[in-house]
Amino acid sequence: MVIKIKVDSLYLIAIQPFSTQVERENLTLFCVQNNLRKIGFIDLAPTQDIFNLVKLLDLQGIELKLFIDHHENDQKLDEINNARAIYDFIENENFRFYPRSVAPSATCLAKANEAKKLGLDAVFFHYDIDGLSGALKMSFLGQKYSWFDSVANIAEKGPATNISLTSDAKKYLHLMQAGMNVGPPYQYDSQKRNIALQELYFNIALWLAHDQDDTVIADFIDELNEVNEQATELSYQIILNTLKKDDGIIFVDCYEIMNQGKRPNFQYLKRELFKMAQDFMLVAIRVLGHKGDQISIFKPRDFDLDIPKLLPADEAGDWHIDARIHIRTNNFSAFKYNYLQAVTALTH
């Protein structure tokens, strides 16, 4: 995934933390050809692929001036070591690598219009709402809108955070969440997904630059709302057709739908499932994800099981955040067995 938009003279470039060698080489070539000499990173986990990109850029004389991430799992020692290595390229306060307990979003670690102050030519960011919001905040738009942090915190932690939003921030969040439903799942067709997100980010930046004037993207807003309604109806049908409530687990199956190139409205889906969970049941969703056919687990706020204990031995340490993990399994019965085993171990 590589998506490029321009805000004034600043390039905002969305990439995945798990980029390919071809993507890294093409990115480096793009920077060289466009004389992008100073860059920043935000919301990109220090995977080996990201570290390799940093080294490749450095070989071409492209200077890493800023690195921002809110890390999640101290057990991922390779990422911690990569972060230390990336620090060697910066060695000042512009390396900001904090746990989520300190920084619920990466956006809140960025500073308004910071790119101009640091003389950045480009900002690389993770393609989600948090990453884009942080990149936008670092552009001149960060001085026009003060609510990027609040939106990103809600996007990362969910609506239960009780963060109040202004009316314009609510509209931005709605359009971004609706926009995430545009295009097929990335794992199904990455090229079409890139095209859809490219259009989304371009139009959102245009809309913000024009003081949230809906007329500049009126047709696109209509398209977003229509797609969002269709994705919500699809999610409703998924709940009706696949819901299981069994032994402390709320489960739905999205895999077959996603494997047909359709993308549910996960915001709606998780909200409805959390209502059923009532803080004492896990939410499990079978999806087409970055591990292929997988079950993704979400923990309600008051749920007290350490959910990484659910992981099979060969995936130990390979979890996302303490409220969400992804397991390489498509067998609900096997997952339920692991869950019950973990609960038994916790209570004895």
pLDDT at 119: 97
Question: Residue 26 is encoded by which pair of tokens?
Answer: 């093409």
pLDDT at 12 over 80: yes
Task: Please indicate whether residue 314 or residue 104 has the higher confidence score (pLDDT).
Answer: 104
Overall average pLDDT of the 242-268 stretch: 94
pLDDT at 113 over 90: yes
- The residue written with tokens 């049941």 in the block is 281
pLDDT at 342 over 90: no
**pLDDT > 70 in the chain, percent:** 97
Helix (H) or strand (E) segment spanning residue 343: helix 332-347
Q: What is the pLDDT of residues 34-91, one digit of tens each?
A: 999 999 999 999 999 999 999 999 999 999 999 999 998 888 888 999 999 999 999 8
pLDDT at 9: 94
Overall average pLDDT of the 91-108 stretch: 93
Radius of gyration of the chain (CA): 20
Overall average pLDDT of the 13-22 stretch: 87
324-327/95-99 β-pairing: unpaired
Cα(146)–Cα(231) distance, rounded to whole angstroms? 30
List of residues 6+ apart from 6 with CB closer than 8 A: 12
Task: Please indicate whether residue 290 or residue 139 has the higher confidence score (pLDDT).
Answer: 139
Task: Kindly indicate the confidence band of residue 25, based on its pLDDT and cuts at 50, 70 and 90.
Answer: very high
pLDDT at 144: 96
In order of 74, 105, 162, 327, the CA distances from 301 in angstroms are 21, 17, 13, 20
In degrees and rounded to multiples of 5, residue 19 shows phi and psi of -80, 155
pLDDT at 336: 86
How buried is residue 111: exposed, middle or buried, by Cβ count under 10 Å (0-12/13-18/19+)?
middle
pLDDT at 323 over 80: no
pLDDT at 346: 65
In order of 214, 325, 338, 348, the CA distances from 344 in angstroms are 54, 20, 10, 6
Cα(102)–Cα(118) distance, rounded to whole angstroms? 24
Q: What is the pLDDT of residues 238-247, one digit of tens each?
A: 999 999 998 8
Task: Please indicate whether residue 308 or residue 143 has the higher confidence score (pLDDT).
Answer: 143
pLDDT at 160 over 60: no
Count the neighbouring beta carbons within 10 Å of the beta carbon of residue 185: 21
pLDDT at 158 over 70: no
Residues 335, 254 contacting (CB under 8 angstroms): no
Cα(297)–Cα(285) distance, rounded to whole angstroms? 7
pLDDT at 247: 86
pLDDT at 13 over 90: yes
Mean pLDDT, the chain, rounded, equals 91
Question: Residue 158 is encoded by which pair of tokens?
Answer: 């969910």
pLDDT at 343 over 70: yes
Overall average pLDDT of the 222-230 stretch: 97
Overall average pLDDT of the 234-263 stretch: 95
